[in-house]
Chain A
Amino acid sequence: MDGEELTEQETALYDRQIRVWGADAQRRLSKAHILVSGLKGTVAEFCKNVVLAGVGSLTLIDDRPVTEEALSANFLIAPDENNLSGKSIAELCCDSLKDFNPMVRVSVEKGDLSSFGGDFYDKFDVVVVSCCSQTAKKLINEKCRKLAKRVAFYAVDCRDSCGEIFVDLQNYTYSKEAIAVPWKSLPRRMSKLYYAMRVIERFEEAEGRNPGQTSIEDLPKVLKLRKEVCEAHSLNESSIPDLLLERLVTGTREFPPVCAIVGGILGQEVIKAISGKGDPVKNFFFFDAMEGKGTIEDISEPNNGS
């Protein structure tokens, strides 16, 4: 296809996966540039997966200093490095990731993702965001949308033993629409997690909290918000169980097995999107360890344009 044979070294290293997705897909992967922001456990898993898969480059954004919480589900940071360096989470993860596959360029970008302009996003084929507000997600998604080239956008978050992936391959609904769909119009057997995550997002937004900055004390307010939202959408409140909201409000730390699962699915989806092999998820993926299901939901405006 597009010229350039894989080198002998690449063929040897990627032998087993070329047998899964073929040499063409491997070549496309090696030319793809990925940006990730918000390096908690799930994104760390994702980064490992795409670096091993052999993407062209991976750029990391996360200026936060290392805290105990940041370490809890992140195997890319050794605890001793924590004290000795004034390095950011992104910088520490970068060092580990480089080591996983010398053929992938891993680098760090500083600054606030939502402040970057279009020319910044233009450098990438895939943008993955995590641990940021609903507003920021929408903003970044829109910036990607405005570019002449297609940039695949993903938002991923895990709380307690639940995880959610949103996918916008720009041939479909984007986040602004996907989270504003009238709930009434959604199928009855919708993942409860979809509703619950929207309530939590709204709560954090309204209270001016950072993502994940909630505790059990917030539960009454969250339940009150659920009532309002459900009424506005004419949805039965029982569609969003108390227990689920309680788990999401209190279990703000990630559960490492869920990070592995959601980071694995996200890795697979990004590989599918880049390589053009297989049919990518549209447009949400949900996982809840309590029930063990990993579900795909297609959430879009019922009648576009009306």
Chain B
Amino acid sequence: MTSEQQLTAIKGAKVLMVGAGGIGCELLKTLALSGFQDIHIIDMDTIEVSNLNRQFLFRKSHVGQSKAKVARDAVLRFRPHISITPYHANVKDPDFKVDFFKQFNVVLNGLDNLDARRHVNRLCLAADVPLIESGTTGFLGQVTVHIKGKTECYECQPKPVPKTYPVCTITSTPSKFIHCIVWAKDLLFAKLFGDKNQDNDLNVRSTDATSSSEHAEDVFERKKGEGIGLYGRRIYDHVFGYNIEVALSNEETWKNRNRPRPIYSRDVLPFKLIQQNGNVDKNLMADAPSPVSAMASLGLKSPQDIWNLKENSRIFFESLKLFLVKREKEIGNLTFDKDDQLAVEFVTAAANVRASSFGILLHSLFEAKGIAGNIVHAVATTNAIIAGLIVIEAVKVLQNDANSYRMTYCLEHPSKKMLLMPVEPFEPNKSCYVCSEMPLLLEVNTHHSKLRDIVEKIVKAKLGMSCPLVMHGSALLYEVGDDLDKDMVANYAANLDKVLSGLPSPVTGGTILTVEDLHQELSCNINIKHREEFDKEKEPNGMVLSGWTQSPAKEKDDNASINNGASASNASSHAFSLEVKEDSETAIVPVATGSVPTGKKRKMFDISEDSVPDLSSVPDEVRSKNKLEEIDDDDGDDVVLLDDGCSDGVKKKRLR
């Protein structure tokens, strides 16, 4: 089975696993069976019911417990004599410093989010420890090997950011169900149950200047003494009836679009019915800790069913009522959570009523929940396969067998007769700001933008630094830390609100800023270029960051009506994005989008069968293919395995 050399390497190895989810469970099992004896595993999550279909080390009785700890115990049962050290913690905790990483021979990632992946990538680079990265979505998956200076790092190719949608598509001209979901979740739900002080575009219509925010406030506020039924009806009629009428009055908008149909509650449900709608008492009396549910009180059972307009309207009124009656205290503080049954019911119903109005296909609660919660498709088999491939690469890494490192794709449909396709790893990207010294370029109006904008929108949001420090030459402009004295903290706070050119050490065109994250031991330079004007629609941050992300293809994408990610410069803060923050282990396939799954799967690989197998050429072929697919944007189902168009400008070189 294994050669003596391999066995020695395996037995002597100390490995760190990050993630004890779907890939993690499989990986820990396979590592233990393969003879690994010193395994450390970090995971901050606790076990949930929806994990049990694939995270086979966990049982129902473990729900709520630490994944890392339960996984350890489960594996020790069949391999009692090995050492497994669990950490129920966030890998981004300052406890896991570069020195912590240095003790390992290899780090194996089975993570579920971009943020943590980037963080681990940086720490592995700083500690000079090889990293094996992995990801799966449905039947697709991949494993990549990242060795400092030898192969590309995880961030050598920019990662697509979550899809965003222009405000007017969401507020006025939805054409897909996802637009209705975003409207229901980020606008209506947020308006009714969330923080009242948050900006909310619910009443924004493309050219309607008459509706003042005051007016809007009045509509959504429940009047003194107003019955719940009446209040619900008023909201319903306002958002599905009146607002649509107002939008319709703008003829220009509908020239090339189907006109929506205003929907009023009286046409769908007689008033009496709304009054009798559901039975709150039934919910009140239930002793069982079962969650408050409009479906339950209306007797609707299957989340797979697609409700008609009337049923959706009833769910709308019922869930609104239940929020007001049963969860009054939370109102004002709620944010949408896919595990909140009532919230999912409300959002499903509201999205479906809106969809009816716009002639968009209705969806079941099950589907709506997946879209709204950005739930990732996951199966056990792909995770098992990927875990096996990780161990195979890990054994090569431990033996320093650089010539045989491979990145491997697990495909749904065979390509060149292959379901598992190995490809030689790529050289590091010479302009990668993470693993090279190449500076970034920031165009900004130094008289308007504040230091806070740079720290929040660039250093944190784009560069993924969590404990940033900003320097201009030797002058410290900003830093965070526990050991700062009061004066410094006040000083930095004051700096944040100053415009760049007004800082104690003024930042103007030609300035080179140094930003660092001490925790990640990452430092990079940003060349500042002053620019007066920015396009409000396309560059809403008033800043454009370029360098490692810059590519000619990008500009085109940015002009498209939907910002499909890929740009580090102008992901609009004023557009809606579906945040990629999943509950499951798998999520973002590295070098891929982890964007919204809505159902239909597209075939991603279509490489001609008879072409001479030249594996090195595959990724580029596949990439250019993906680019086309990305532009052809249908329902957000871009479960793309490989980089999308954004990487085209940075031509990858084959290793060796």
Q: Which residues of A contact B (CB under 8 A)?
A: 5-6, 8, 11-21, 23, 41, 45, 48-49, 52-54, 72-73, 75-80, 99-102, 160-161, 189, 251, 253-261, 263-265, 267-268, 271, 278-279, 281, 285, 287, 289, 291-297
CB neighbors of A among B327-361 (8 A): none
**27 A–B contacts, CB within 8 A, in A order:** A5-B304, A8-B301, A11-B366, A12-B50, A14-B53, A16-B50, A16-B54, A16-B376, A17-B379, A19-B376, A48-B56, A52-B56, A72-B33, A75-B32, A161-B1, A256-B388, A258-B392, A260-B29, A261-B389, A264-B381, A265-B381, A268-B139, A281-B414, A281-B419, A292-B422, A293-B421, A293-B422
Contact of A257 among B79, B304, B391, B413 (CB under 8 A): B391
SS class of chain B's interface: helix, strand, loop or mixed? mixed
Contact of A16 among B32, B34, B56, B379 (CB under 8 A): B379
CB neighbors of A among B392-406 (8 A): 392, 395, 406
Whether A49 contacts B380 in the complex (CB less than 8 A), given A11-B303, A77-B78, A78-B77, comes out as: yes
Shortest Cβ gap from A164 to chain B (Å): 14
Q: B residues within 8 A CB of A73?
A: 33
- Docked pose: A102 CA to B80 CA in angstroms: 25
User: What per-residue 1/0 map shows which CB atoms of B402-426 lie under 8 Å from chain A?
Assistant: 0000101010111001111110000
Whether A255 contacts B1 in the complex (CB less than 8 A), given A52-B380, A261-B420, A268-B381, comes out as: yes
Are A260 and B304 in contact (CB-based, < 8 A)?
no
User: What per-residue 1/0 map shows which CB atoms of B64-86 lie under 8 Å from chain A?
Assistant: 00000000000101111000000
Are A15 and B53 in contact (CB-based, < 8 A)?
yes
Q: A residues within 8 A CB of B370?
A: 19
- Docked pose: A101 CA to B381 CA in angstroms: 15
Shortest Cβ gap from A15 to chain B (Å): 5
Contact of B302 among A5, A251, A296 (CB under 8 A): A5
Are A80 and B80 in contact (CB-based, < 8 A)?
yes
Taking CB as reference atom, which chain A residue is nearest B58? A100
Are A79 and B80 in contact (CB-based, < 8 A)?
yes
Taking A49-B384, A76-B78, A292-B389 as known contacts, 18 extra A-B pairs with beta carbons closer than 8 A to each other, sorted by chain A number, are A11-B304, A19-B378, A20-B378, A48-B56, A52-B53, A52-B380, A75-B32, A78-B77, A100-B56, A255-B1, A256-B388, A257-B391, A260-B388, A265-B385, A265-B419, A267-B381, A278-B139, A292-B422
Taking CB as reference atom, which chain A residue is nearest B586? A16
Q: A residues within 8 A CB of B422?
A: 291-293
- Docked pose: A258 CA to B366 CA in angstroms: 36
Taking CB as reference atom, which chain B residue is nearest A23? B304
Of all A-B residue pairs in the complex, the 6 with the closest CB atoms, nearest first, are A294-B420, A260-B388, A292-B422, A256-B33, A264-B385, A261-B388
Taking CB as reference atom, which chain B residue is nearest A263? B384
Whether A257 contacts B414 in the complex (CB less than 8 A), given A16-B377, A20-B138, A75-B78, comes out as: no
- Docked pose: A73 CA to B77 CA in angstroms: 14
Taking CB as reference atom, which chain B residue is nearest A271? B381
Are A13 and B56 in contact (CB-based, < 8 A)?
no
Are A259 and B388 in contact (CB-based, < 8 A)?
yes
Are B418 and A264 in contact (CB-based, < 8 A)?
no
- Docked pose: A257 CA to B382 CA in angstroms: 13
- Docked pose: A282 CA to B75 CA in angstroms: 35
Q: B residues within 8 A CB of A268?
A: 139, 379, 381-382
Shortest Cβ gap from A14 to chain B (Å): 5
Residue B249 lies at the interface, judged by CB distance under 8 Å to chain A: no
Whether A75 contacts B33 in the complex (CB less than 8 A), given A5-B302, A49-B380, A255-B2, comes out as: yes
- Docked pose: A160 CA to B1 CA in angstroms: 4
Q: A residues within 8 A CB of B376?
A: 16, 19
Residue B52 lies at the interface, judged by CB distance under 8 Å to chain A: yes
Are B34 and A255 in contact (CB-based, < 8 A)?
yes
Contact of B418 among A75, A77, A294 (CB under 8 A): A294
Interface centre among A23, A45, A101, A267 (most CB of B within 10 A): A45
Residue B597 lies at the interface, judged by CB distance under 8 Å to chain A: yes
Q: A residues within 8 A CB of B382?
A: 264, 268
Whether A17 contacts B378 in the complex (CB less than 8 A), given A264-B388, A296-B417, comes out as: yes
Are A292 and B406 in contact (CB-based, < 8 A)?
yes
Are A296 and B420 in contact (CB-based, < 8 A)?
no
Contact of B380 among A53, A78, A285 (CB under 8 A): A53
Are B1 and A292 in contact (CB-based, < 8 A)?
no
Q: A residues within 8 A CB of B381?
A: 49, 53, 264-265, 267-268, 271
Whether A15 contacts B388 in the complex (CB less than 8 A), given A79-B78, A285-B419, A296-B414, comes out as: no
Taking CB as reference atom, which chain B residue is nearest A267? B381
Contact of A13 among B52, B385, B388, B389 (CB under 8 A): B52
Shortest Cβ gap from B212 to chain A (Å): 43
Shortest Cβ gap from A10 to chain B (Å): 10
Q: A residues within 8 A CB of B138?
A: 20
Residue B624 lies at the interface, judged by CB distance under 8 Å to chain A: no
Whether A289 contacts B417 in the complex (CB less than 8 A), given A78-B78, A264-B385, A267-B384, comes out as: no
Are A20 and B379 in contact (CB-based, < 8 A)?
yes
Are A19 and B597 in contact (CB-based, < 8 A)?
yes
Interface centre among B304, B370, B376, B584 (most CB of A within 10 A): B304
Are B418 and A13 in contact (CB-based, < 8 A)?
no
Q: B residues within 8 A CB of A21?
A: 379
- Docked pose: A29 CA to B421 CA in angstroms: 28
Q: A residues within 8 A CB of B389?
A: 257, 261, 292
Q: B residues within 8 A CB of A255?
A: 1-2, 34
- Docked pose: A41 CA to B32 CA in angstroms: 13
Are A257 and B303 in contact (CB-based, < 8 A)?
no
Shortest Cβ gap from A55 to chain B (Å): 12
User: What per-residue 1/0 map shows which CB atoms of B231-264 lie under 8 Å from chain A?
Assistant: 0000000000000000000000000000000000
Q: A residues within 8 A CB of B529?
A: none
- Docked pose: A121 CA to B422 CA in angstroms: 39
Taking CB as reference atom, which chain B residue is nearest A48? B56
Q: A residues within 8 A CB of B508?
A: none
Q: B residues within 8 A CB of A271?
A: 381
Taking CB as reference atom, which chain A residue is nearest B143? A292
Are B1 and A13 in contact (CB-based, < 8 A)?
no
Q: B residues within 8 A CB of A77?
A: 78
Residue B59 lies at the interface, judged by CB distance under 8 Å to chain A: yes
Residue B308 lies at the interface, judged by CB distance under 8 Å to chain A: no
Q: A residues within 8 A CB of B418?
A: 293-296
- Docked pose: A287 CA to B33 CA in angstroms: 19
- Docked pose: A258 CA to B6 CA in angstroms: 15
Shortest Cβ gap from B275 to chain A (Å): 29
- Docked pose: A14 CA to B52 CA in angstroms: 8
Contact of B50 among A13, A54, A289, A295 (CB under 8 A): A13
Q: B residues within 8 A CB of A6?
A: 304
